[in-house]
Structure 1
Amino acid sequence: MRFSLNKIACLLGILVLFSSFDSENKFIKKVVVENKLHFDRNEVVAIRLKAYKCFSKIKDFSTVLVKDATGKLLVTQLIDTNLDGTPDELLFQATVPARSKVIYTLFTDKESNLKKPVSATTTYARFVPERIDDFAWENDRVAFRTYGPEAQRLTEAGRTDGTLSSGIDLWLKKVNYSIIDSWYAKNVVAPGYYHIEHGEGYDPYHVGSSRGTGGTGIWENDSLYISKNYIKYRIIATGPLRTIFELDYAPWSSYGVKETKRISLDLSSNFSKFENKISLTSKIPNYTLGITLHKEKGVVAINAKKGVFRHWEPIDDSFVGEGIVIDPSVVKTAMNHHSKAADQSQILVVTAPKNNTLTYYVGFAWTGSGQVQSVQDWDAMLEKQSQVIQNPLLVTIK
């Protein structure tokens, strides 16, 4: 049998074409996730795509899938952390037993959109114009909110329907599905709706001029100086595994402090991560975090050596635990501050930010959700969070 040179060249071209498709389709890497701690962990893992040369072969990251050792496909999420249009991180949720390694497989598949599993639960954040200009965020366990410039303007104009506060509010939820849209929509029809328990949880938490749980300030001359409401927001990502957004605050105090808070919340976590970038006109003495003590009916535990600060208080017929977890090396001092002034009794954590950046975790748990039953449960959760941030899961690509 004879083949012409043209036919041979054509066949070779077809083989090269299909081999290139095949190499793209069969991109496979093993992802080893190691847990060095003494307890099981179920956490979101972020693979930084630009940190590994092998990922430069992937032209379309939406084709990437992740499966566990049994072959089960996992929920994934791509994050564009700098909003330049190119994915920077690939997320998936890893389950790793104590002191163990688990191997996952990352691979490409041109039919990935048909095969990707859909998460039954999610993280979520949004600007809420129907409640003036709140900004709210949540996952399957907890929900938070804070307040914007129009709410500030209304208050400063003498209106009673505004809110002047840079504190962080807590919404107590007992369901694993998203409630932000529903509660706000029902609140429009029946004002005050989300302050009443209807079976999904409610918002009985008072912030006022306090720091709520995790708000910031400057502690100087036995007084706490604070910013006003956020002035701008940017949503970086919302999705099944992680929500990220930023809040900007106008310059405040005699030091000209200007803050941008990048806040993220992972699925299945009780803690929002705060990464505060601080610019200023002169060096600030005591950048401070706070947790309101309300009317001081709760109990406080301060452990500056571990960077763990806890409040456990009765609210209505249940209990709520609030907490801050931070790298102890940036803690200068901490105090259980008592005041006769409204909303000014607070746990105050005085810090020394490194390179004008402070990272810390703010969280809570409510007995009504069934996540905790006692202060001992909450202490255990805070202790685990402290160990987790000091010992992140180790990820190796092979």
Structure 2
Amino acid sequence: MKKIVFFFLTAALFINCDKKAEIVSTVTVKNNLSMDREFETVEVDISNLADEKVANLVVLDAENKIVTSQIVDADFDGKNDVILFQPTIKANQSKKYTIAVSEVKNKADTVYCFSRFVPERTDDYTWENNRVAFRTFGPVAQKMIEDGVKGGTLSSGIDAWLKRVQYPIINKWYKKAEKEKGAYHKDHGEGLDNFHVGVSRGVGGTAVKVDSSYYFSKNFTSYKTITTGPIRTSFVLNYATWDANGKQIDETKHISLDYGQNLSRFEIDIKGTETISTGLTLHKKKGVTNQNDAEFWISHWETLGDSKIGSGIVTTKSYFSGSEKYVTPKKDESNHFLHLNVVNNKVVFYSGFGWVKSKQFNNKKDWENYLTNFSKKISSPLIVTKN
């Protein structure tokens, strides 16, 4: 997403209840697509503002109503330097927003976009928003497998937690599992985890193809949580150098999930290869795969339990390098792969799922239309300019 830098202006405006707000800047957000847009996050650079002003920033729309925002330390230097918000804009239109210092606070208290390390369940890392949830696995779970200890997990695949409520469930499900082993594998009205990962790529795990075989890392070795809040959660996962048939691969994953989205954003720093692949597990190989080279996505639609689920991965033109449905008799290693070009030691893609029981999508067509529209949006991001 595009960032802009703004400078402090000496002005004032009035918002509800005659509360004064000191204008910092006004910005215009433009939608160049012929479709209405919402739940897309705009980032505005606030690094030149004093800490006391940053702490009291709000975003106002044209009617001086406060728009939900979130302040983030994006470069990990201990200073908040970006403010996030999600404009709602009609097709081919523009809207103006004001950034201001105000005594009226942002009242968005619910942390819909949440992530954390979970030491009470070995050492998962989990994340969620109001629509979906995910997890992946850490070094303790790996060592348990290597030492023959029951209950470990050896996988760098991405697990899908199928939630069908908007409120946060991660802490609640783990807490319930402490009292009832495997509680989140049953649907008690909020959803469940019945999505098997094993050594598969799950929903967006990575791999490197050498000749006709795929190689992938073990579990993450360390993590850093960057932010949680009403609009975004983001974090970093580090991996030990791993071998891909003689290639030594260094990999760090920067993962974020925004409010209103079904797909997590993966920005991966990668060294040791010119291409990398990201995959969707084929489970029992009874689902339907599809790909759209023009819109740079792959998908898998399958029956899971008593419902249907679609998984998908989307990228942009500069990273896209084709796809492959890889089927093997090896357990859990059949995946539908999206191939990516490594550009300046980096790849970016978006991966996630839609579950019919969540009532977000009704069928395979709905899911694939979502992937196509998502692709169009990330290929033509909202344009943000300072006025």
Q: CA–CA distance in 1 between the matches of 2:107 and 2:166?
A: 18
Judge which range, 194-203 or 326-335, deviates more. Answer: 326-335
Aligned to 1:389: 378
Per-residue displacement from partner, 1:37-65 (whole Å, max 9, x unpaired)? Answer: 12211122111234xxxx55785211211
Aligned to 1:343: 332
Aligned to 1:303: 292
Q: Is the 8 A contact 1:121 1:140 kept in 2?
A: no
Equivalent AA in structure 1 for residue 302 of structure 2: E
Equivalent AA in structure 2 for residue 220 of structure 1: V
Residues 22 and 222 of structure 1: CA distance in aligned 2, closer, same or farther (over 3 Å): closer
Aligned to 1:122: 112
Shift of 1:285: 5.4
Q: CA–CA distance in 1 between the matches of 2:138 and 2:108?
A: 33
Aligned to 2:43: 46
Counterpart of 1:92 (choices 77, 85, 88) is: 85
Q: CA–CA distance in 2 between the matches of 1:362 and 1:182?
A: 24
Please show how residues 20-169 of structure 1 align to structure 2 within 5 Å. 26-42=22-38, 43-50=40-47, 56=49, 60-109=53-102, 111-112=103-104, 115-120=105-110, 122-169=112-159
TM-score, length basis structure 1: 0.89
Shift of 1:351: 2.0
Q: CA–CA distance in 1 between the matches of 2:61 and 2:23?
A: 16
Residues 215 and 57 of structure 1: CA distance in aligned 2, closer, same or farther (over 3 Å): closer
Q: Is the 8 A contact 1:139 1:178 kept in 2?
A: yes
Counterpart of 2:304 (choices 315, 327, 331) is: 315
Counterpart of 2:192 (choices 194, 202, 208) is: 202
Q: Is the 8 A contact 2:325 2:337 kept in 1?
A: yes
Q: CA–CA distance in 2 between the matches of 1:234 and 1:264?
A: 12
Equivalent AA in structure 1 for residue 359 of structure 2: G
Per-residue displacement from partner, 1:102-161 (whole Å, max 9, x unpaired)? Answer: 12222112x24xx32224461000000010000000000000000000000001111220
Are 2:367 and 1:378 equivalent residues in the alignment? yes
Residues 220 and 86 of structure 1: CA distance in aligned 2, closer, same or farther (over 3 Å): same
Residues 246 and 121 of structure 1: CA distance in aligned 2, closer, same or farther (over 3 Å): closer
Q: CA–CA distance in 2 between the matches of 1:287 and 1:144?
A: 22
Per-residue displacement from partner, 1:12-70 (whole Å, max 9, x unpaired)? Answer: xxxxxxxx8979962342221111112211122111234xxxx5578521121111122
Q: CA–CA distance in 1 between the matches of 2:241 and 2:217?
A: 8
Per-residue displacement from partner, 1:300-349 (whole Å, max 9, x unpaired)? Answer: 11223321101111001111000000113323331111111211211122
Q: Is the 8 A contact 2:46 2:54 kept in 1?
A: no
Equivalent AA in structure 1 for residue 325 of structure 2: N
Equivalent AA in structure 2 for residue 135 of structure 1: Y
Equivalent AA in structure 1 for residue 260 of structure 2: S
Residues 380 and 21 of structure 1: CA distance in aligned 2, closer, same or farther (over 3 Å): closer
- Indicate the SS of the match to 1:145: strand
Aligned to 1:5: none
Larger Cα Rg: Structure 1 or Structure 2?
1
TM-score, length basis structure 2: 0.91
Q: CA–CA distance in 2 between the matches of 1:89 and 1:166?
A: 30
Judge which range, 365-374 or 300-309, deviates more. Answer: 300-309
Aligned to 1:269: 261
Q: Is the 8 A contact 1:219 1:350 kept in 2?
A: no
Query: Cα RMSD (Å) of the superposition?
Result: 1.9
Residues 95 and 61 of structure 1: CA distance in aligned 2, closer, same or farther (over 3 Å): same
Among the aligned pairs, what percent are the same residue? 41
Q: Is the 8 A contact 1:67 1:73 kept in 2?
A: yes
Judge which range, 25-34 or 165-174, deviates more. Answer: 25-34
Q: CA–CA distance in 1 between the matches of 2:50 and 2:23?
A: 8
Please show how residues 185-196 of structure 1 align to structure 2 within 5 Å. 185-196=175-186
Per-residue displacement from partner, 1:363-388 (whole Å, max 9, x unpaired)? Answer: 11000000000001001110111011
Q: Is the 8 A contact 1:32 1:103 kept in 2?
A: yes
Q: CA–CA distance in 1 between the matches of 2:110 and 2:333?
A: 41
Q: CA–CA distance in 1 between the matches of 2:235 and 2:50?
A: 30
Equivalent AA in structure 1 for residue 261 of structure 2: S
Give the total of aligned pairs: 369
Q: CA–CA distance in 1 between the matches of 2:109 and 2:68?
A: 6
Aligned to 1:241: 231
Residues 141 and 278 of structure 1: CA distance in aligned 2, closer, same or farther (over 3 Å): same
Q: CA–CA distance in 1 between the matches of 2:51 and 2:323?
A: 49
Aligned to 1:291: 280
Q: CA–CA distance in 1 between the matches of 2:312 and 2:203?
A: 7
Shift of 1:258: 1.3
Q: Is the 8 A contact 1:292 1:344 kept in 2?
A: yes
Q: Is the 8 A contact 1:74 1:117 kept in 2?
A: no
* Deviation >6 Å, runs of 4+: 20-24
Shift of 1:255: 1.7
Q: CA–CA distance in 2 between the matches of 1:361 and 1:22?
A: 40
- Indicate the SS of the match to 2:324: strand
- Indicate the SS of the match to 1:153: helix
- Indicate the SS of the match to 1:181: helix
Judge which range, 132-141 or 120-129, deviates more. Answer: 120-129
Shift of 1:396: 1.5
